[in-house]
Amino acid sequence: MLTITEIDTKNKAQVSRFIDLPYRLYRDHPQWVPPIRSDVELMLNKEKHPLYEHSDAAFFLAEQNGEVVGRISAIENRSYNNYHHAKKAQFYLFECIDDQHVAGELFARVFDWSRARGLTTVIGPKGFGPLDGYGLQIEGFEYRQLMNMMNYNYPYYRTLVENNGFEKEVDFVSCFVDTTKFNIPERIHRIADRVRQRGTLDVKYFKNKRELVSWAGKIGRAYNDSFINNWEYHPLTDNEIKFVLDNIMLVADHRLIKVITHNEDVVGFLFGFPDISAAMQRIKGRVFPFGIFDLLLEMKRTEWIALNGAGILPEFQGRGGNALLYSEMEKTLKDYRFKYADLTQVAETAVQMRSDLVNLGGKPYKNHRVYRREL
Q: Does 115 reside within a domain?
A: yes
Asked if residue 346 and residue 215 are part of one domain, the reply reads yes
Please, what is the average pLDDT of the chain?
90
Q: Give the span between the Cα atoms of 21 and 153, in whole angstroms.
A: 13
Q: Give the span between the Cα atoms of 174 and 136, in whole angstroms.
A: 13
Q: Does 373 reside within a domain?
A: no
Residue 249 has pLDDT above 80, yes or no: no
Higher pLDDT, 249 or 190: 190
Axis-axis angle for helices 238-251, 216-226 (nearest 10): 110
- Strands 121-124 vs 88-96: parallel, antiparallel or unpaired: parallel
Asked if residue 106 and residue 13 are part of one domain, the reply reads yes
Q: For residue range 59-68, list pLDDT tens digits in order.
A: 999 999 999 9
Q: Does 372 reside within a domain?
A: no
Q: For residue range 330-350, list pLDDT tens digits in order.
A: 888 888 878 999 988 888 877
Q: Does 374 reside within a domain?
A: no
pTM: 0.92
| DSSP per position, 5-67 | EE--TT-HHHHHHHHHHHHHHTTT-SS--PPPHHHHHHHT-TTTSGGGGT-EEEEEEEEETTE
Instruction: Report the Cα 192 to chain-centroid distance in Å.
Output: 29
Higher pLDDT, 22 or 130: 22
Task: Tally the domains of the chain.
Answer: 2
Q: Does 9 reside within a domain?
A: yes
Asked if residue 104 and residue 187 are part of one domain, the reply reads no
Domain endpoint, select from 117, 141, 171? 171
Domain endpoint, select from 171, 187, 203? 171
Asked if residue 243 and residue 161 are part of one domain, the reply reads no
Burial of 332 (0-12, 13-18, 19+ CB in 10 A): buried
Asked if residue 139 and residue 245 are part of one domain, the reply reads no
| Peptide bond before residue 125 is cis, with ω within 30 degrees of 0 | yes
pLDDT for position 360: 73
Asked if residue 181 and residue 320 are part of one domain, the reply reads yes
Asked if residue 224 and residue 239 are part of one domain, the reply reads yes
Question: What CATH number is associated with residue 363?
Answer: 3.40.630.30
Asked if residue 100 and residue 20 are part of one domain, the reply reads yes
Domain endpoint, select from 171, 189, 211? 171
Asked if residue 211 and residue 159 are part of one domain, the reply reads no
Q: Residue 146's domain spans which residues?
A: 2-171
Q: For residue range 205-239, list pLDDT tens digits in order.
A: 899 888 988 888 888 888 777 777 777 788 888 89
